[in-house]
Structure 1
Amino acid sequence: MQPIRVMIVEDDPMVMEINAEFVSKLPGFELAGKAYNGKEAMLLIKELHPDLVLLDYFLPDTNGLSLLQDIRTKNYPMDVILLTANRDPEHIQDIFRAGVVDYIVKPFRFDRFQTALEQYRHTFKKFNENRPLEQADLDAISGIQRHPSEALFEELLPKGLNDRTMQQILQFLEGQAVPLSSEEVAVGTGLARVTVRRYLEYLEKKGDIAIEVQYGSVGRPMNKYRF
């Protein structure tokens, strides 16, 4: 999957650089552009076509809600996350009604930022898989937590496999730049090698991951897996 292209709209140069650095730390994302006011933002959005806009509310020539509404009016196909100190409940409600995927209140820590973008990456992937979405997919996208007794999705898995472990392995592979062996995945996830091997074989058969056979100078070929 191509990196998700992110544009940041922020009038404070120091905050801009912090947010840009945060984006650079996350695999699967690339910084497409920076805008310091609303006018510049709309020009860059039209030119760069980012996938995701990280938007401040307080801007020198407009506010985040007006800019968001402008984006929606022009039907630009992109998602927006608000990064702002604005805590006004009326404004926040209007912002969610205008369509944002997340709302992060400043000041925030990197782990909250990381959670937001990783969740967005999983959602972005779901929408680009070109397959019908199941209820479990939609629940994950909307943040709905299933009741522990609801095992309908897991019943679709082979006996002995569970969705939580499968998602753990998928998320780990998604963040890797190079294919990994089952032993490397086991080390990276903290799971047993035998367990990891079963999940990798299942995921490869489903087509969720790809397998590459690598030949060394000696010894037998090694299977390596990539997202």
Structure 2
Amino acid sequence: MSPTETIRVLVVDDDFMVAKVHSGFVRQVPGFEVVGAAHTGAQAVSEARRLQPDLVLLDIHLPDINGLELLQQLRDVVPELDVLVISAAREVETVRRALRGGIVHYLMKPFSADDLHERLEHYRQSYQALSPGSASGTAEQADVNRVFGLGDTARPLPKGFSTETLRLVEELLRRTSDTSAGADLSATEAADALGTSRVSARRYLEYLVEEGRAVVQLRYGGIGRPERRYKRQG
């Protein structure tokens, strides 16, 4: 598929309500479409064959098969399928087996909409650049680095940070400054533009300030604390 096309997602989870919640999370992310849900391994294989999704959100604990064993069956019917594991399983060997199976991410339950949003954005920006339908047909080192979580930051990112989300925040600051000289934005405005929570957006913006890649100014007016406004450094 072309990196510009909508990414079709199949949600596989034994719990009907959990699958519904996760489907709702996916629908909040631009560029992704939930095409179906399955609650057993057999149903997942049938739906994958019928729907031909690009990405499966795969639970490990299913009533009729272990998700890691199901993974290869899904690829037998959809050879180019990508898999993002979402599971409560925390055993090191389970995680290792999943990684050896070629998954794109392993997200542990419970998680928030923001957590899944970050993984999906990383997948869209990184893995889709290496898809068979990519425009150039060749990969740059930067494309490969993104897949393996390597960025241009000077020090390791804080816990819970995503390299891809950080890049999106910086790009938003750049676009804001290009729109008007000296233009800035608040954490709330950044959150609205990126589709994340205000708290998450502010953490990334404050990190960029600490790194010297953004500056913060206080805007006074009205009652209460002054508003923190961020803009690109330089």
The answer on 1:110 being equivalent to 2:96 is no
What CA deviation, in whole Å up to 9, does each residue of 1:141-188 have, x standing for no partner? 211234649xxxxxxxxxxxxxx9xx548976xxxxxxxxxxxx98xx
What CA deviation, in whole Å up to 9, does each residue of 1:35-88 have, x standing for no partner? 010000001111111000000000010111110122345562110001100011
The answer on 1:133 being equivalent to 2:136 is no
TM normalised by structure 1 equals: 0.66
More divergent stretch after superposition (100-109 vs 72-81): 72-81
Tell me which amino acid in the other structure corresponds to 1:57.
Answer: I
Unaligned runs of at least 5 residues, structure 2: 156-163, 183-234
Equivalent pairs counted in the alignment come to 166
CA distance 1:43–1:86, change in 2 (3 Å): same
The answer on 1:193 being equivalent to 2:217 is no
Q: Aligned with 2:177: secondary structure? A: coil
CA distance 1:26–1:171, change in 2 (3 Å): farther
Query: Does the aligned pair in 2 maintain the 1:6–1:33 contact within 8 Å?
Result: yes
What is residue 16 of structure 2 aligned with on the other side? 13
What CA deviation, in whole Å up to 9, does each residue of 1:80-116 have, x standing for no partner? 0011000111111011101100000001111111000
Matches within 5 A, 1:43-62: 43-62=46-65
CA distance in 1, matches of 2:27, 2:76: 30
What is residue 91 of structure 1 aligned with on the other side? 94
Q: Over aligned residues, Cα RMSD in angstroms?
A: 2.7
CA distance 1:119–1:147, change in 2 (3 Å): closer
What is residue 6 of structure 2 aligned with on the other side? 3
Matches within 5 A, 1:28-47: 28-47=31-50
Identity value in percent: 35
Q: Aligned with 2:122: secondary structure? A: helix
Query: Does the aligned pair in 1 maintain the 2:6–2:32 contact within 8 Å?
Result: yes
Deviation at 1:130, TM superposition (A): 2.5
Query: Does the aligned pair in 2 maintain the 1:72–1:98 contact within 8 Å?
Result: no
What CA deviation, in whole Å up to 9, does each residue of 1:197-226 have, x standing for no partner? xxxxxxxxxxxxxxxxxxxxxxxxxxxxxx
